[in-house]
């Protein structure tokens, strides 16, 4: 006997290799212990619905996809960066703004001033907006604390969000995001602090499952990032890299060398970086929000990555400075229009490939027997519409572990 049975739906399984979204028209999905126990045509059900499951749900003829996986956010922070936007409108670049006291460091000031509870309150509306678009798994990075206690505070706020909302949080320590002002004269001491105190604390308090680094001229060098990645790996964290966003740092190659789960942004990644990622199985996380809002011109090498078989995920990069974007539904058409993704690649990018970017591909991100019963339900005539409409609310509900999820 199953716990739940979902009927009157069309399933888009997003199975790899399918060029029709893995569609199963008039499907049925049975769930046991929070996992998919049956997936197929309704006609293939082995009996009468009421005899198969304790609870039978009617999905109202909607399309059902895997629950969306949001694999790259900086959701927990204090204040906002509307001043940066005004400076940008007046012609200032990201680097100009950082040098004028705006940028990441200004968010660090505002974040350090808040308590865990205040950070949670500030992040809740952003998290709710993401959930309303069908997100069931949500990665959240630190990186606006930049001291041991403030980074741990941000990670505690991320964890608390998972207790307040019906979503699974995947916490990432992004200690190498910007050099905190108090270490301006001695970069190495900050990197020491991260390696010797912050990573061990985050791991022993189970506050992070991954480490990320911002490898960029305005942030940290390849050598500094390599040191932190090495220590993080030795502590059992999985790895991610903000790579080649503004310049070609060879950072996608660095991610590949360390067997990182993902290299994110990758606008300036070279052909050698693409080849390295293909070899190591590192997923490229594409972030069209930051590209659009910074008015960048250099696109990530999508055609080369596609040809080389680099998996491509898609995410909002929700952050106060470069991408105050709180909708994955809006990110899908942006990925298509700005980066040349196909509608299917875009949808796979926020499900199957985003799960891969978090190391969760064997657990979620597609629909298959044995995987987590995390679903999103959609008021559309076909899943290709999910990357077509710009704005509007088409997600009709979420399911986590087979149960309707709270909004």
3-state secondary structure of 272: helix
- Contacts with ligand DI6, 107-126, as mask; x by CB under 6 A: x-------------------
Q: How many whole angstroms separate alpha carbon 346 and alpha carbon 103?
A: 29
- Which of 281, 292, 300 lies closest to 316, judged by CA? 292
Residue 242 near ligand DI6 by CB under 6 A: yes
Q: Quick one: 133 or 317, whose CB is closer to Fe ion?
A: 317
Scanning residues 270 to 309, which ones bind ligand DI6 (CB under 6 A)? 290
Residue 216 near Fe ion by CB under 5 A: no
Residue 244 near Fe ion by CB under 5 A: no
Q: Roughly how many angstroms between the first and final C-alpha of the chain, as a whole number?
A: 28
* Interface stretch with ligand DI6, choices 20-28, 319-327, 379-387, 399-407 (CB under 6 A): 319-327
Q: Quick one: 63 or 214, whose CB is closer to ligand DI6?
A: 214
**Least distance in angstroms from the C-beta of 127 to Fe ion:** 16
| H or E element, residue 94 | helix 94-99
Residues near 155 by beta carbon (within 8 Å), at least 6 away in sequence:
142, 171, 173, 202, 207, 208
**Least distance in angstroms from the C-beta of 264 to Fe ion:** 6
Instruction: Answer whether 303's CB lies under 8 Å from 282's CB.
Output: no
Binding partner of residue 62 among ligand DI6, Fe ion, none, CB under 5 to 8 Å per kind?
Answer: none
* Interface stretch with ligand DI6, choices 48-56, 317-325, 329-337, 382-390 (CB under 6 A): 317-325
- Contacts with ligand DI6, 192-231, as mask; x by CB under 6 A: ----------------------x-----------------
Residue 320 near ligand DI6 by CB under 6 A: yes
Alpha helices in 294-364, H assignment, sequence order = 302-308, 328-339, 343-349, 352-357
Scanning residues 290 to 349, which ones bind Fe ion (CB under 5 A)? 317
Tokens representing residue 191 in the block: 């990197």
Instruction: Answer whether 321's CB lies under 8 Å from 107's CB.
Output: yes
Report phi then psi at 339, rounded to 5: -110, -5
* Interacting residue with ligand DI6 among 142, 245, 331, 366 (CB under 6 A): 245
Q: Quick one: 172 or 238, whose CB is closer to ligand DI6?
A: 172
- Which of 386, 396, 278 lies closest to 335, judged by CA? 386
CA distances from 142 to 60, 108, 296, 341 (A): 40, 10, 25, 29
**Least distance in angstroms from the C-beta of 312 to Fe ion:** 16
Residue 104 near ligand DI6 by CB under 6 A: yes
Residue 383 near ligand DI6 by CB under 6 A: no
DSSP tag of 372: B
Residues that bind ligand DI6 (CB under 6 A): 74, 103-104, 107, 177, 214, 242, 245, 290, 317, 319-322
Q: Residues interacting with Fe ion, by CB under 5 A?
A: 317
């Amino acid at each position: 006997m199953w716990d739940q049975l979902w009927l009157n739906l069309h399933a888009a399984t997003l199975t790899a290799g399918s060029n029709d979204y893995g569609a199963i028209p008039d499907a049925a999905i049975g769930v046991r212990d929070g996992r998919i126990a049956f997936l197929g045509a309704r006609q293939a059900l082995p009996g009468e619905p009421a005899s198969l499951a304790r609870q039978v749900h009617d999905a109202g003829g909607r399309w059902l996809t895997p629950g969306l996986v949001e694999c790259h956010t900086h959701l927990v922070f204090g204040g906002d960066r509307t001043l940066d936007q005004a400076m940008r409108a007046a012609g200032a670049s990201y680097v100009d703004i950082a040098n004028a006291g705006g940028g990441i460091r200004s968010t660090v000031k505002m974040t350090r001033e808040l308590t865990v509870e205040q950070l949670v309150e500030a992040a809740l509306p952003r998290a709710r907006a993401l959930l309303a678009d069908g997100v069931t798994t949500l990665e959240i990075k630190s990186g606006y604390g930049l001291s041991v206690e403030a980074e741990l505070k941000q990670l505690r706020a991320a964890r608390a969000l998972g207790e307040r909302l019906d979503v699974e949080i995947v916490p990432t320590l992004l200690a190498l995001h910007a050099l905190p002002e108090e270490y301006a004269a001695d970069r190495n001491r900050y990197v020491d602090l991260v390696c010797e105190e912050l990573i061990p604390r985050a791991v022993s308090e189970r506050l992070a499952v991954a480490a990320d680094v911002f490898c960029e001229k305005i942030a940290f060098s390849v050598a500094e990032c390599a040191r932190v990645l090495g220590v993080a790996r030795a502590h059992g964290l999985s790895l991610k890299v903000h790579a080649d966003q503004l310049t070609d740092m060879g950072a996608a190659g660095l991610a590949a060398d360390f067997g990182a789960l993902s290299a994110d942004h990758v606008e300036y990644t070279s052909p050698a970086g693409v080849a390295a990622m293909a070899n190591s199985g590192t997923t490229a996380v594409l972030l069209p929000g930051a590209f659009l809002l910074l008015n960048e011109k250099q696109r990530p090498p999508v055609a080369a990555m596609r040809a080389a078989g680099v998996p491509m995920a898609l995410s909002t990069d929700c952050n106060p400075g470069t991408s105050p974007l709180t909708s994955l539904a809006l990110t899908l058409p942006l990925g298509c229009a700005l980066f040349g993704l196909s509608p299917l690649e875009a949808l796979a990018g926020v499900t199957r490939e985003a799960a891969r970017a978090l190391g969760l591909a064997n657990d979620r991100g597609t629909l298959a027997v044995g995987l987590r019963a995390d679903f999103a339900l959609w008021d559309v005539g076909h899943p290709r519409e999910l990357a077509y409409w710009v704005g509007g609310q088409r997600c009709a509900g979420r399911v986590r572990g087979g149960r309707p999820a709270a909004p």
